[in-house]
Homo-oligomer: A and B are copies of this chain.
Amino acid sequence: MPPLPSGVCWRAVLARAHSARLSSGSRGASGDAGCAQDHPAVVGELRGELDRFGGVSVRLGALDRLDAAAFQRGLQGAVFDENTRKILVVQDRNKLKNMWKFPGGLSEPGEDIGDTAVREVFEETGIKSEFRSLLSIRQQHTNPGAFGKSDMYIICRLQPCSFTINFCQHECLRCEWMDLNDLVKTENTTPITSRVARLLLYGYREGFDKIDLTMEELPAVYTGLFYKLYHRKLPDKYKTMTLMD
């Protein structure tokens, strides 16, 4: 494996920070002492610890991590620069070698869709960007034995704010600004990436309003919380109309 780049590789740092495995915690007020920490037991994809009674314990307080790790609510960021017609693409180091795809990763619990895409793109490529729209949702059914491992991946359109690539060599083999036409033409890409590239080309040529789902905040009824709602842009006359016919 080549050395890490001289710049900070946020992805690798965060991967290490997140690598603490789920382990047995206190059970009741006095349960800590005597738990066997040396014999991790793997149950499906959840790693528990053998406890002093020969059972397997998993700390429930860590289940919010499961949400991100096991259930895969993922995001990809299609970072497209309208001025140069360039799109940011990566090649994975470990899988899908030589296949160009968009950078991305899993969302943290409670994290906004756009925030996840921006964060993941930065961690993987060093490029700063801003959320513009939601483009597509991908669903795939994987092995139900893996805790009904989930299947939702959201692809966002992002606008770049910086252009100097400093990609995570821990994860990526290559990272480039590629002409969008070249991404549409290449065979070295996944069917999904190729399709989204064509969608972006359609938006670039005929207006991004053709392809975007925009975001708006709306209040919940009783809770005082706010929802973020993504849908096609609604003309103002429909938003404000109170009477019709």
Contact = CB atoms under 8 A, between A and B. Distances in A.
A94 interface: no
Contacts of A66: 63, 147
A7 interface: no
B199 A110 contact: no
Interface in A180-234: 181, 184-185, 190-192, 195-196, 198-199, 201-202, 210-211, 213, 216, 218-222, 225-232, 234
A43 interface: yes
A243 interface: yes
Contacts of A144: 64, 109-110
Given A67-B147, A147-B67, A28 B55 contact: yes
Interface string A123-136: 00000000000111
Nearest to A146: B64
Nearest to A212: B232
Contact of A64 (B64, B148, B152, B218): B148
Contact of A243 (B71, B140, B185): B185
Contact of A147 (B44, B64, B231, B242): B64
Contact of A135 (B28, B68, B231): B231
Contacts of A46: 60, 63
Contacts of A148: 63-64, 67-68, 109-110
A75 B156 CA distance: 21
A150 interface: yes
12 contacts: A28-B55, A43-B60, A46-B63, A67-B150, A71-B71, A99-B221, A109-B150, A137-B230, A140-B226, A140-B228, A185-B243, A202-B234
